[in-house]
Amino acid sequence: MILSEPEVREILNLIWESVYGKLQSNATEKDWLKYQDTAFNRVNMVARWLTRSPGHWIPKPHIYFHPNNERNRFKKTWQWYVKQETLKIEIRNQLLLQQVKSEWQQHEQNKGRFREKTRLQLFRIQQKRLAGYRDESLNQAYQQCLQRCLHLKNLKRKQPAYAQ
């Protein structure tokens, strides 16, 4: 698409208004840089979507970035972006839990990288690794995984019988 200078100026003004909110919020420079990154990611996401299937269509730039366009404006990609990012995190968590699970299974059979370690040491190693991601849902899933892998439920059931 070829645009002349006045058209480019108009579109940039619309982007300044609709995407950056006229730069009026009191965010720090770091926040703005972060927002800029997400904005670039959103643009790339739309570009990839367009190249994937040529049947897709987005409106012309002066409509796409217009602040009053409720129907198919650029702001709507935010929801889309959030969905994509949460999906990425979920998949990452699934892979991490799979790894943890296989490590416990191998440890039970005296195989693998951590066969020399005790159960407590292996637990500490995994805990340290997963704490690096700072994700509460990952932590909870890890607890459940531990219950399953280490048969902690069976232990609990045995305890009352032992006490009698």
Partner 1 sequence: MLSEKMQREALTKCIVWFYDGNVRTFYSLDKTHKRAKPNQALGIRRLEKMLMETFKGQWETAIIYENKSYGNELARFKRGARV
Site for partner 1 contains 6 (CB under 8 A): yes
Return the number of the residue (7 or 135) whose C-beta is nearest partner 1.
7
Chain centroid to CA 5: 39
Question: How big is the CA angle at 18 (ends 55 and 75), to the nearest 5 degrees?
Answer: 45
Which residues fall within 8 angstroms of residue 89, CB to CB, at 6 or more apart?
A: 135
Chain centroid to CA 69: 28
Q: What is the closest distance, in whole angstroms, from the C-beta atom of residue 76 to partner 1 in the complex?
A: 23
Site for partner 1 contains 111 (CB under 8 A): no
Site for partner 1 contains 7 (CB under 8 A): yes
Binding mask 125-164 for partner 1 (x = CB under 8 A): ----------------------------------------
**CA–CA separation, 30 vs 36, rounded Å?**
10
Give, in order, the Cα–Cα distances in Å from 66 to each of 4, 21, 49, 79: 18, 12, 21, 18
Stretch that binds partner 1, among 6-14, 72-80, 97-105, 144-152 (CB under 8 A): 6-14
Return the number of the residue (66 or 101) whose C-beta is nearest partner 1.
66
Would you tell me which residues interact with partner 1 (CB under 8 A)?
Answer: 2, 4-7, 9-11, 62
